[in-house]
Chains A and B, each alone.
Chain A
Amino acid sequence: MSSDERQAMNTNFQTHTVKSFGEELDRLSDDVARMGGLVETLVSDCLQAVMRRDGDLADSVIERDRQVDQMERDIEKRVIRLFALRQPMATDLRMTIAAYRISHELERIGDLAKNIARRCRVLNESEPHEMTRSVDRMGRLVVSQLHEVLNAFSAGSLDDAHSAMKTDDEIDEIYNSLFRELLTYMMEDARTISPSTQMLFVAKNLERIGDHNTNIAEMVHYVLTGEDWRRDRSMSDPDRES
């Protein structure tokens, strides 16, 4: 996160009386933003790898996921330290909790990206799939959603967070139609069952990433408003449906 953005997020705060406390909070949100940036590249790279059948890129995604895990552990340590030494209150409290939760969500996203990258190797062994385009469209949507969510976190933008949440519905829809199409393919041609299944997993993972993005957006909502989004959220939870 650039310093301008941080400035933007802190406009409604006065600086912290205990400067080192304020700095620690800033570093925490910096770390989360950096982790978010890394995860964002992981997701787009794994998508690239699938699209271009690029095994090396897939390997690099798997490799970089370890970095993400490490970053999550660092953030966790930082959060524990902050709770033990500073007892954050109100926005600070929400910010710290959100950082912890977001880092966890990001780690999960990283894992899903890694999962997709693994499928890439298997997919490369068969013929290029016709559905790749649709998956690519869904992937782009997920990546842009992740980008939007991370932006919302960095800039403290409630609108971005809400629009990201709306995107999730769209992703769910694409996933559902993809699911039906892939089913049709597999019924038509038994040979496509293996790649189609892999493709289905890729799509499922992307859908899960979308859900995690939504969770992050909810955390951003919580940080900014202090209210729990889930409490008033409609029943349209794709996880529960599937």
Chain B
Amino acid sequence: MSTVYHDTQIENAKVALDAVGVTYGSKTAVSGVSLRIPDRSVTAFIGPSGCGKSTVLRTINRMNDTIDIARVSGSVKIDGEEINSKSVDPVVLRARVGMVFQKPNPFPKSIYDNIAYGPRIHGLASGKSELDAIVETSLKKAGLWNEVADRLDQPGTSLSGGQQQRLVIARAIAVSPEVILMDEPCSALDPIATAKIEELIDELRENYCIIIVTHSMAQAARVSQMTAFFHLGDLVEYGPTEAIFTNPRDQRTQDYITGRFG
């Protein structure tokens, strides 16, 4: 089924998907997804469970590689560079494309080590003081510094759910990514923690290309500038969030957004 695109000019496309399809064994998860995602903005992927939005998200940092039976077709480009080509090392790619998951998953290590791990394995810091600086700026960017500055040596798992999720975001920021993927980052959080994360996402928008998968349409409406609606493995509609939420063009989008899914 063809996708409805709202006629919006996306000039600085950071991520461009072209006819992306993913199959798990004999099961087709998504097919024919073409999207141009602008830089320095938040793009939300919405849709009912199992619609393939997370799968599409995971093609952007080749997380599907870790699943044996997953096969990705089509083209995914970041800054015009094809990331599915053999010459691109997924490990390097994942440093450029950070990811935040549904459940806060800090490493069972200290707060400091959680942030420092990425820079360490990528050799981003040449000394202890530089690493300290990375940890501090990452935590500050994630709005967590004031809350944890005096207990960096405590385990990351001792923080509250919302703090853990911000820690995870700080961890993603620490490796200076260009794109940050968020897979339902607030689904395990209370509304206040969610609000903090949303505020953080809005701040991060200035510097990163953020793609967020969410089940909460209200959240998508609140944080995103662009919204893509997926249904049964198809990209149904893609356009500015405002247009999608006030005037969706496809009946399926309409029904999903207004809560009339049969």
A interface list, Cβ under 8 A from B: 12-18, 21, 87-94, 225-227
B259 contacts which of A17, A94, A225, A226 (Cβ < 8 Å)? A17
Residues in B whose Cβ lies below 8 Å from that of A90? 245-248, 253-254, 257-258
Instruction: Say how far A170's CB is from chain B's closest CB, in angstroms.
Output: 31
A17 contacts which of B251, B253, B254, B261 (Cβ < 8 Å)? B261
Residues in B whose Cβ lies below 8 Å from that of A227? 247
A92 contacts which of B221, B258, B261 (Cβ < 8 Å)? B258
Q: A13-B255, A90-B254, A90-B258 are in contact. List 17 more A-B contacts (CB 8 A).
A: A13-B258, A14-B255, A14-B261, A16-B260, A18-B259, A87-B218, A88-B258, A89-B217, A89-B246, A89-B257, A90-B245, A92-B258, A93-B246, A94-B246, A225-B247, A226-B246, A226-B248
Residues in A whose Cβ lies below 8 Å from that of B247? 90, 94, 225-227
A125–B130 Cα distance when bound, in Å, is 94
Residues in A whose Cβ lies below 8 Å from that of B258? 13, 16, 88-92
Interface residues of A: mostly helix, strand, loop or mixed?
A: loop
User: Who on chain A is nearest to B221 by CB?
Assistant: A89
Residues in B whose Cβ lies below 8 Å from that of A15? 260
B262 within 8 Å of A by Cβ? yes
Query: Can you report 12 A-B residue pairs in the complex whose CB atoms are below 8 A from each other?
Result: A13-B260, A14-B262, A16-B258, A16-B259, A16-B260, A88-B258, A89-B245, A89-B246, A89-B258, A89-B259, A90-B248, A227-B247
B interface list, Cβ under 8 A from A: 217-218, 221, 245-248, 251, 253-255, 257-262
Residues in A whose Cβ lies below 8 Å from that of B246? 89-90, 93-94, 226
Instruction: Say how far A112's CB is from chain B's closest CB, in angstroms.
Output: 31
User: Who on chain A is nearest to B255 by CB?
Assistant: A14
User: Who on chain A is nearest to B218 by CB?
Assistant: A87
User: Who on chain A is nearest to B251 by CB?
Assistant: A12
A91–B248 Cα distance when bound, in Å, is 8
On whether A21 and B245 interact (CB within 8 A), knowing A12-B251, A89-B221, the answer reads: no
User: Who on chain B is nearest to A15 by CB?
Assistant: B260
A123–B62 Cα distance when bound, in Å, is 82
Residues in B whose Cβ lies below 8 Å from that of A94? 246-247
Residues in A whose Cβ lies below 8 Å from that of B260? 13-17
Residues in A whose Cβ lies below 8 Å from that of B245? 89-90, 93
User: Who on chain B is nearest to A95 by CB?
Assistant: B258
A13–B256 Cα distance when bound, in Å, is 11
Which of A89, A90, A91 gathers most chain B CB within 10 Å?
Answer: A90
Residues in A whose Cβ lies below 8 Å from that of B253? 90
Instruction: Say how far B241's CB is from chain A's closest CB, in angstroms.
Output: 11
Residues in B whose Cβ lies below 8 Å from that of A18? 259
Residues in A whose Cβ lies below 8 Å from that of B251? 12
A46–B254 Cα distance when bound, in Å, is 42
User: Who on chain A is nearest to B261 by CB?
Assistant: A17
Which of A17, A21, A88 gathers most chain B CB within 10 Å?
Answer: A17
Which of B217, B245, B251, B257 gathers most chain A CB within 10 Å?
Answer: B257
User: Who on chain B is nearest to A92 by CB?
Assistant: B258
User: Who on chain B is nearest to A21 by CB?
Assistant: B259
